[in-house]
Amino acid sequence: EVQLLESGGGLVQPGGSLRLSCAASGFTFSDYTMSWVRQAPGKGLEWVSAIVSGGGTTYYADSVKGRFTISRDNSKNTLYLQMSSLRADDTAVFYCARGIAPTTSYFLHWGHGTLVTVSS
Amino acid sequence: EIVLTQSPATLSLSPGERATLSCRASQSVGSSLAWYQQRPGQAPRLLIYDASNRATGIPARFSGSGSGTDFTLTISSLEPEDFAVYYCYQRNNWPLTFGGGTKVEIK
């Protein structure tokens, strides 16, 4: 069974940093492109970032480019999102997501999400 | 960035009725479009991918159509568990984008 378990969320002050993790199990993690998707309270879904299987190519939404860094450790089956220069509008539930196929970003599997709150 | 515009924002229907949801892309996405369902407090659920393919385990009452810039999700006969928010999504171009959502509510 595919499982994605996010952690690392919490309360952070504006301008601060936070690192999210997503522990994957039940599939060959190193084969799959992985993404982060977020959802602000009461709002819609926003794709944030993606990283290909080997980690050599990354993609970002314009809203986070230059502030967030996606990475992965295939030896630990873990996906990361390093977030810096956080703003109030970054407050959201952050989901880790995996596609239906290794290079296909149709998100079939989702974690439960981790809440990031940016507030003073 | 490809902008996906969903309409209507809210659809008020009764169980058993047919629901038709629309998604329009600001430029062609070919058939690289998906639909997700999200119930309150839950992660999104993939319903349709490549515009018209049902994901594993999705009931046949859900169907998708369209290509290019205009897409439709149809729920042939609403069940109580179908009242939720629906998002379209494109993977044809980076950055990947979602539509703003359509809420299907009980009339």
Residue pLDDT, tens place only, A1-26: 999 999 999 999 999 999 999 999 99
- B89, A46: Cβ pair inside 8 Å? no
Residues of B in contact with A59 (CB under 8 A): 94-96
Q: What is the mean pLDDT of residues B65-85?
A: 98
Residue pLDDT, tens place only, A20-74: 999 999 999 999 999 999 999 999 999 999 999 999 999 999 999 999 999 999 9
Q: What was the pLDDT predicted at B8?
A: 97
Residues of B in contact with A110 (CB under 8 A): 43-44
Q: Cβ(B46)–Cβ(A2) under 8 Å?
A: no
Q: What was the pLDDT predicted at B85?
A: 98
Residues of B in contact with A100 (CB under 8 A): 46, 49, 55
Taking CA–CA distances from B2, the nearest residue in chain A reads A61
- Percent of chain B surpassing pLDDT 90: 100
Relative to beta strand B4-7, strand B10-13 is: unpaired
A62: left (phi over 0), alpha (psi -120 to 50) or beta: alpha
Which of A60, A106, A113 is nearest residue B34 as measured by Cβ atoms? A106
Q: What was the pLDDT predicted at A18?
A: 98
Relative to beta strand B33-38, strand B45-49 is: antiparallel
Cis peptide before B15 (omega within 30 of 0): no
Question: At residue A88, what are phi and psi to the nearest 5 degrees?
Answer: -60, -35
Taking CA–CA distances from B45, the nearest residue in chain A reads A108
Which of A44, A107, A112 is nearest residue B46 as measured by Cβ atoms? A107
The helix or strand, by DSSP H or E, that contains position B23, with its residue range, turns out to be: strand B19-25
Q: What is the mean pLDDT of residues B77-103?
A: 97
A29: left (phi over 0), alpha (psi -120 to 50) or beta: alpha
Largest distance between two CA atoms of chain B = 38
Q: Which of B1, B91, B97 to mutate to test the interface with A (most CBs of A within 10 A)?
A: B91
